[in-house]
Amino acid sequence: MAATPTITVLAFDYGLKTIGAAVGQSLTQTANPLAEIKANDGVPANWQQIEKLLQEWQPDLCVVGLPLNMDGSPSEMCTRAEKFARRLNGRFGVKVETMDERLSSFEARGDIIERSGSRDFKQQGVDSLSAKIILESWFNQQ
């Protein structure tokens, strides 16, 4: 049996004001949060930040969190997250998948409170921590 090649994956937690980012690789199935990307009504304020991440990490795939409702139905934000995923693909030619991200932000906030005792989530990078959780969940489902 041939060994499965190790792949590098960038994940994004799409948001209207901030887009969280994380990078990981399939060998260890772990991820690390990266700098958050400012957004204006869901559009990256600076697409060059995303381009730099893609150049630096050379991902085989990008994963964009899909904010489904708790019952699994698409939320209003799903359409916008899917559009962001299509823009990533169209602009940079990277392979993009979407991933159910229900509760990732809730889990990230819990991790921050547990780790630091702080509820200052913006200071702690909650969106990139959410992207890390989305990516590790994606690895677990592969």
The structural domains of the chain, with segments of one domain joined by +, span 8-141
Q: Residue 129 corresponds to which tokens in the numbers above?
A: 């921590």
Residue 89 pLDDT: 97
Residue 101 pLDDT: 81
Average pLDDT per block of 10 residues along the chain, 142 residues long: 81 94 94 94 94 97 90 88 96 94 62 59 70 91 86
Fold designation for 8-141: Nucleotidyltransferase; domain 5 (3.30.420)
Residue 121 pLDDT: 46
User: For the chain, what's the residue count?
Assistant: 142
Q: Where are any strands of DSSP class E within 7-128?
A: 8-13, 18-25, 30-33, 37-40, 43-44, 61-66, 96-100
Quote the crossing angle between the two packed helices 47-57 and 76-92, to the nearest 10°: 60
DSSP conformation class of 27: T
Long-range contacts of 81-87 (CB under 8 A, 24+ apart): 81/14, 84/12, 84/14, 84/19, 84/42
Q: Are 33 and 20 in contact (CB under 8 A)?
A: yes
Report the run of H or E that residue 107 belongs to, with start and end. Answer: helix 104-116
Phi, psi for 29 (deg, rounded to 5)? 55, 35
Residue 64 pLDDT: 96
Q: Are 34 and 53 in contact (CB under 8 A)?
A: yes
pTM for this entry: 0.84
Q: Is the dihedral of CA 96, 42, 107, 130 positive or negative?
A: positive
Q: Residue 23 corresponds to which tokens in the numbers above?
A: 């990078």
Count each helix (H run) and each strand (E run) in the chain, helices first.
Answer: 5, 7
